[in-house]
Structure formats: C-alpha cells, structure tokens
Amino acid sequence: MNAGPLLRVLIVCRGSRQDGLGHVMRARCVAAELSRRASVRLVVVGEAFVSTLLAGRGINHRIIASEADLPAIDREYRPHVVVFDALRIDEAVFRGLRAGRIAVSLSPVFDRLADVDLLFHRTMHAAGDWTPGPEIRRGLEYAVIREQCLPIDEAAYTRSLSQDPLSVVISMGGADAHDKTLATLRALGGVPCPLLIWTLLGEGYEHSYERLVDCVRSHPQHEVILAKTSDSMWRVMQTAALAVLAGGTVTYEAAFAGLPSINVFDKAAHVFLIRELVEKGICINAGHPFEDALDVVVATVAHLEAHREELLAMHRRARGAIDGRGAARIAEEIVAHASGRRSEGTAAA
C-alpha cells in the first residue's frame, strides 16, 4: 500500500432470518482481514440477533434495520471503497454509495453486479454472462473460510468413518427461514440403516423445538442430537462422516475441512455455486427443488452408509483443493486495487 492516509472501507451486507447468515459470515471474515490493512466499518442490514456473530471480534460494526440508514453512515464515514455482500439493494441507495468510490461485490448473485468494479467469486463457474460488468477474480482460492473451520486429518476422518452408526450432520444455515432442518430430519428418518444424526440449529433458528423432538421420537432407529451452535458448529462437524447442506458457504467450509457433503437446492439458478466441487468429486448435488431433492438425499445416504470407501475417497479428493486464504487474498487485492486507483487520482478523497 502506498504511504499516505489509511484506506477507508465500508462493508455492507444483509443478515436476517429471511436473508440467512451466510453473507454476514463471509463479510465478517473479510472485514477481519481488511481491518489489519485499512480502516473498516461493517454495516449489516438485518435483525438485532446478528450482533452475536460480530461482538467481541475487534470489528467496528453496526446493525441497522433498513437501507434507509445507509446514506447517513456513508456521509459520516466517507469511504474510498464500498464492499457489498448481499443479493439485492435499492438502486438509489446503491448509486449514492457507489458514486465516486470503488465498488466491490463478494456475492455472485448481487443484483447490481453490472455496476461494481470488482467481483470476488469462489468458483470458476458463472451464472450466465457477466459482461459487460465487473473485473472478476474467480476460483477456489477466493473461497472464504471462517477461522474455526480446520482441516480434518485422514486418521481422524477414518476413525469417524469406521464407527457405527454412521455420523451424519444436518446444517441448513444459521437462520433457516423455511425450516428445512425439520424437513431434512424427517426425510433422514426414512433411511433404513441406523444413523447418528447431529442436527445443528443456528443463531436465527426460531421454529418449534417440540416439532423437532416429536420427529426424533417418531424414528427410534436413529440417534439424534439437537445442537444450537454458532462458531462451535465446526467442533461438531469435524466429528461427522457426512453432511447434508444447503449449498452455501458451509459447503465450501466442508470442502476445505475434507467433510463430504450432499447438497440440496430450492432452484436451478444456484446449482452453479457448487458445480466445481461436484466436478472434482468433493461433494454431491442432490438436485432441486428442495422437497424432491430430499428423496435423493435419503437414497444417497443409504448407499454411502453401505459403501463408506466412497466417502473416504471424497475426503481425500478434498485435501488441498481450498487453501483457506480466501479472505486474506480478497483483502490484499482490494487494498492493492484501491491503492492503484488512488495513486492515479481516481479514487474519492
């Protein structure tokens, strides 16, 4: 970075029961890396419970209920760079934040991609044609992995794999607005062989625990553990042999850790997000829509329970595919890009 005043970076993301928490987790990791290189403000448009994911981490953050509060924050902070991690933002608000600044997106499905300068994308595959549009930095090297997620060594994974019943973890995201957790647990109840099912409930899970307990009681052949987790989720997941996931940020964390996963989707538009991992034999795409994909999950879990060597092969293929430096790499490249622009006199004062 060139000598001179620190770069000011405003990071805007969404986090709520409706939007999920994946954007917050990714923005949190990038903010932590950027904070050691620049002045950073992280603003989450969402619900108050999200603050539990950010407090005590040394990140200057704020939770706001509405995008309408963003212009005032922008005027007060006057950033040189605005980083977005969201699916959508009001056009007028975006234009105001974007004006005269370097704009970056961490989301490949952001509705203002055509108007940002840089897009960091965790896979080589794209959602259609992004031209004309941003300068794209893409590939597994840009996958953002939270610091609590660590690689599972082969000896530890082999021990987990050899135990009976097979340990399967369900994680449908930190918010799970549509209670996919309950639907997935019900579906796995139909797997004929006994399982040990870890059911992870995130910070934003607000559905009935009683319905989950009733579901557990209706499938006595399985052992089921309900666990409310946040950062501790990887202490649980690293003991499992297989995960059932929703195809989001946790799928990339599982690939980094070496935990095979089966992924379900609501619609075809998001399948590209894990296509590269599927092609590398690291995870499985069960398809879409979600309800139909659960039938594939049940059949696949039953097959893998009887053919555990396939899970070990997936674990081995995952080793080294993702290096875990995605957040640091993104931070470094944002600072380098902005420094170059500032030296040319094109960035905001």
Task: Provide the Cα torsion 328, 85, 204, 219; round to 10°.
Answer: -80
Distance CA 26, CA 49 (A): 17
For residue 289, give both structure tokens: 């829509």
Query: For the domain 8-145+324-343, what is the CATH code?
Result: 3.40.50.2000
pLDDT at 342: 65
Are the CB atoms for 273 and 309 separated by under 8 Å?
Answer: no
- The CATH superfamily label for domain 154-318 reads Glycogen Phosphorylase B; (3.40.50.2000)
For residue 277, give both structure tokens: 């991992």
Phi, psi of 291 (to 5 degrees): -60, -40
User: Can you give the residue ranges of every domain in the chain?
Assistant: 8-145+324-343, 154-318
pLDDT at 129: 75
pLDDT at 321: 98
pLDDT at 308: 98
Q: Are 8-145+324-343 and 154-318 the same fold in CATH?
A: yes
Are the CB atoms for 175 and 202 separated by under 8 Å?
Answer: yes
pLDDT at 349: 40
* 239 DSSP 8-state letter: T
Are the CB atoms for 139 and 326 separated by under 8 Å?
Answer: no
Are the CB atoms for 261 and 243 separated by under 8 Å?
Answer: yes
Q: How do the pLDDT tens digits run along the chain, 349 residues long?
A: 445 789 999 999 999 988 999 999 999 999 999 999 999 999 999 999 999 999 999 999 999 999 999 999 999 999 999 999 999 999 999 999 999 999 999 999 999 999 999 999 999 998 877 777 899 999 999 999 999 999 999 999 999 999 999 999 999 987 888 899 999 999 999 999 999 999 999 888 888 899 999 999 999 999 999 999 887 899 999 999 999 999 999 999 999 999 999 999 999 999 999 999 999 999 999 999 999 999 999 999 999 999 999 999 999 999 999 999 999 999 999 999 998 876 665 444 4
